[in-house]
Amino acid sequence: MAESGNGGTQPLIELRDIQKHFGSVIALAGVSISVQPGECHCLLGDNGAGKSTFIKTMAGVHKPTEGEIYIDGQKTVFENPREAMMAGIATVYQDLAMIPLMSVTRNFFMGREPRKGFGPFKYIDFDQANQVTMDEMARMGINLREPDQAVGTLSGGERQTVAIARAVYFGAKVLILDEPTSALGVRQTSNVLATIDKVRKKGIGVVFISHNVRHAMAVGDRFTVLNRGQTLGTAVRGEIEADELQNLMAGGQELADLEGSLGGTV
């Protein structure tokens, strides 16, 4: 597969030849990826392919052993995840970092609630916080019964949408989604994929990490396949079929070679 860009537009983020070593273990061996404004770039790979290490490097959790990160064309070094967040790189992990018994509003703001009053007498403006939560969720296609309901009463897809809407509201330029559909049913998956499409249309770049080719094909513009810490290539939507991606992810060539060596018994 050949690397392909998006009409020469400056990438929101670009990672070049990223290597990450943990002692003698090479988790990443020269991975490159770029994300354009309004693009959903799918990062595909089976378990152990290096997806988690790569997105944690992109999000400032890990420093690359080798390689460079560029934000809007400027070489950047993230010392910690907070610096990545300040640069507009937001990550929604599988655990969602939510407190089930707390309200949707409190989970939406997580300590960043709007306040009113003066000096030491400032207090949370719950009316504004609740309104913002209802409005932002509605923009993502979720109509809450009330903002005070516990986030644990929402479906898995709705909780994903809360996390995505939160990241967008607080200024994400690049949204990294770690297996957002892995534990969802068909309807909830459809809702989350529709949310991703809404986010992309705002000009935000989306990095969609998945091992589900069908889900990726539904929303992806480009597809990069990782295998054993290496990039197998990047394909543009319309230039590759789902079966081809699946074979790349699952080591299709290795299976073909094994089948040949065993006389077609695999």
Q: Is the pLDDT of residue 255 over 70?
A: no
pLDDT digits (tens, 9 = 90+) for 9-66: 899 999 999 999 999 999 999 999 999 999 999 999 888 889 999 999 999 999 999 9
Strand order across the 25-35 sheet: 25-35, 13-22, 66-71, 74-76
Backbone angles phi and psi of 143, in degrees to 5: -100, 105
Residue 21 and residue 27: Cα distance in Å, rounded? 6
pLDDT at 266: 46
Place of tokens 């719950």: 126
Residue 90 and residue 93: Cα distance in Å, rounded? 10
pLDDT at 264: 55
Q: Is the four-CA dihedral 52, 55, 60, 62 of positive or negative sign?
A: positive
pLDDT digits (tens, 9 = 90+) for 90-129: 999 888 778 999 999 999 998 888 888 887 788 889 999 9
pLDDT at 42: 96
Q: Which two tokens stand for residue 119?
A: 């000096």
Q: Among 160, 143, 222, 224, which Cα is nearest to 196's? A: 160
> Could you tell me the domains of the chain?
1-88+204-266 (3.40.50.300)
| Region 226-240 average pLDDT | 89
pLDDT at 208: 96
Q: Among 175, 133, 176, 132, which Cα is nearest to 158's? A: 133
Residue 253 neighbours by CB under 8 Å, 6+ apart = 247
Share of the chain above pLDDT 70, in %: 91
pLDDT at 85: 94
Place of tokens 């070489």: 75
